[in-house]
Amino acid sequence: MTTSLTPDTNHLRQICGLPTELALRKAASFLAHLVKDPDFLESRILPFLEEARYGEDWYVAHRHDAEDGSFSLQVFVWPPGTGTTIHDHSSWGAYCCAIGSVLEERYERLDAGSRPDRARLRKAWQLSWSGEDGASTVMPGDKGIHRVGNPGEGTAISVHLYGPQIGEVDGRDYDPGRDYVCDRREGIK
Ligand SMILES: [Fe+2]
């Protein structure tokens, strides 16, 4: 579904045109306000709460992609016990919970990246993020390797903003069990 998700597309496009670190600060602030906006909550978040009870996996319930590729704003629904695999993104990203909380595990690379299909990871930290905690941000590529999930008993809903994609792939997926990494063409955040 791609309809008008956002109240101010120009503001988003402006944020996403900034240098990465500044864009991330502005994106975090934008999202922290957006998830408290009563109109946004009522129209874009609460309708998914009921539907989410029947979900068996996490999913993107709503998505707005800028026509020029400068940003993508997405609403993620996390039924209890769901989560992503370990991945990174070909863009910067920021997300903030509107309902409930998610657990984020962040990883760093130990190898020099000399082999395209090999990556040795070490868990750097994990944090639980609720709306009160503000937004979490990731840099593009292996500066933002993470896994996000909802280990709790209630549904979580988060709002994500991604900047312009660098390169052709959406990001990469990691399997630390065999020190493996591969490109991801599309789909997972
Ligand atoms: Fe992600």
> Residue 189 falls within a domain, yes or no?
no
- Name the nearest CA neighbour of 162 among 52, 33, 60, 56: 60
Question: How far, in Å, from the CA of 140 to the mean position of ligand 1?
Answer: 10
On the question of pLDDT at 2 being above 80, the answer is no
Continuous segment of H or E residues that includes residue 16: helix 9-16
**What pLDDT is attached to residue 188?**
54
What does the pLDDT look like over 17-39, one tens digit per residue?
999 999 999 999 999 999 999 99
Q: Tokens representing 19?
A: 């240098």
- Average per-residue pLDDT for the chain: 92
Give the confidence band of 3 by pLDDT, cuts at 50, 70, 90.
very low
pLDDT score of 148 more than 70: yes
Is 90 within a domain?
A: yes
**Is residue 76 situated within a structural domain?**
yes
Q: Which residues have C-beta within 8 Å of that of residue 146, sequence separation ≥ 6? A: 86, 87, 88, 104, 105, 106, 107, 138
Q: How far is the CA of 91 from the centre of ligand 1 (A)?
A: 10
pLDDT confidence of residue 189: 53
Distance from residue 38's CA to the centre of ligand 1 (Å): 26
The DSSP H or E segment spanning 180 is strand 180-184
Q: How far is the CA of 51 from the centre of ligand 1 (A)?
A: 23
| Stronger pLDDT, 8 or 29, i.e. the higher one | 29
- Helix locations, 38-103, DSSP H: 38-40, 46-52
Q: Is 115 contained in some domain?
A: yes
**Does residue 24 belong to any structural domain of this protein?**
yes
Question: pLDDT grade, residue 57 (50/70/90)?
Answer: very high
Q: Which among 160, 177, 144, 154 is positioned nearest to 20, based on CA atoms?
A: 144
Residue tagged 């994106």 (tokens): 27
Q: Which pLDDT tens digit goes with each residue over 91-100?
A: 999 999 999 9
pLDDT in tens, 77-86: 999 999 999 9
Please tell me the predicted confidence (pLDDT) of residue 187: 63
Å from CA of 171 to ligand 1 middle: 9
Residue 1: per-residue pLDDT: 40
Task: Give the CATH number of the domain where residue 67 resides.
Answer: 2.60.120.10
Q: What is the largest CA-CA distance in the chain?
A: 49
Which residue range forms the structural domain that includes residue 8? 2-184
Domains: count for the chain: 1
State if pTM tops 0.85: yes
